[in-house]
Amino acid sequence: MKLFITSDHNGVNLVDYLYGELKKDYDIERIDLPNDLNDDYPLFAFKLGQLVSSTPDSFGIILCGTGVGVSIACNKVKGIRCARVSNVNDAQMCRLHNNCNVIALGNNYTNNEVLTLVKTFITTECLNEERHIRRIKQIIDYENGEYNEL
């Protein structure tokens, strides 16, 4: 498994911490784009999304002030299913039911909280039940312009 991690200026401290902790057990790559008060979160999200979508068996971790903006931007990248997560249940369910490949977080967590959320996300397996596979396929088909059941 390969991990990619990045943030705009709002999440740099948490990314520093996560990177340091996760590199002990995982193959992780930090995406460093210039960070300052005027940086643009979509650029971080697009870069991370492109890397995750083109790297088999990979996950992305992205932070911004709230996690909302980067999750919206990540979901514009083909092949990305990004969830903005605020608790352990969210981190589990987005993997179990939606097989998300990117987790988006805000900067309002302690180091231990954010590490728990990320580890929950990357260690939870998709259920691969027929209903979940069917729904994920509908999303992928729509993204590819192939879903015609509206």
Helix axis angle for 111-123 and 12-22, nearest 10°, is 60
Beta-carbon count within 10 A of 27 CB: 12
> In terms of Cα–Cα distance, which of 8, 14, 54 is closest to 31?
8
Residues 132, 135, 136: CA angle, nearest 5 degrees: 85
- State the catalytic residue, choosing from 64, 74, 82, 94: 64
Token pair for residue 127? Answer: 């259920």
Q: Which amino acid is at 145?
A: G
Angular region, 93: left φ>0, alpha ψ -120 to 50, beta rest = alpha
**Mapping DSSP to helix (H, G, I), strand (E, B) and coil, where does residue 84 land?**
strand
Out of 9, 74, 82, 97, pick the active-site residue. 97
Catalytic, 64? Answer yes
- Catalytic site residues? 64, 97
